[in-house]
């Protein structure tokens, strides 16, 4: 067999491999994008700190009154 009989198949094989590599290269270098995480829905309530402080002091006064009554 002559060497010339191998030239065409080798060139075609190289072209096919080059095309496959060129098609795959963009996938290799794409950065992975983080999937967007959807936030969980929560039910929030607004708390007034002044009323909370007065409620706590009222509870303390009630507790002190009960202690005095118990003694």
* pLDDT score for 19: 95
* pLDDT score for 1: 61
Tens digit of each residue's pLDDT (9 = 90 or more) over 11-48: 999 999 999 999 988 877 776 766 777 778 888 888 88
Instruction: Give the CA distances from residue 30 to residues 8, 18, 24, 25, 63, in Å, rounded to whole numbers and listed in that order.
Output: 34, 19, 11, 9, 66
| The pTM of the whole model exceeds 0.85 | no
Instruction: Give the CA distances from residue 70 to residues 24, 56, 64, 66, in Å, rounded to whole numbers and listed in that order.
Output: 83, 21, 10, 6
- HSE, CB side, 13 Å, CA atoms: give it for residue 19: 6
* pLDDT score for 4: 76
């Amino acid at each position: 067999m002559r060497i010339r009989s191998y030239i065409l198949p080798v060139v075609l094989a190289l072209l096919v491999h080059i095309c496959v590599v060129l098609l795959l290269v963009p996938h290799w270098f794409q950065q992975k994008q983080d999937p967007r995480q959807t936030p969980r829905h929560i039910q929030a309530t607004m708390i007034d700190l002044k009323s909370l402080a007065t409620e706590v002091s009222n509870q303390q006064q009630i507790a002190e009154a009960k202690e005095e009554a118990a003694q």
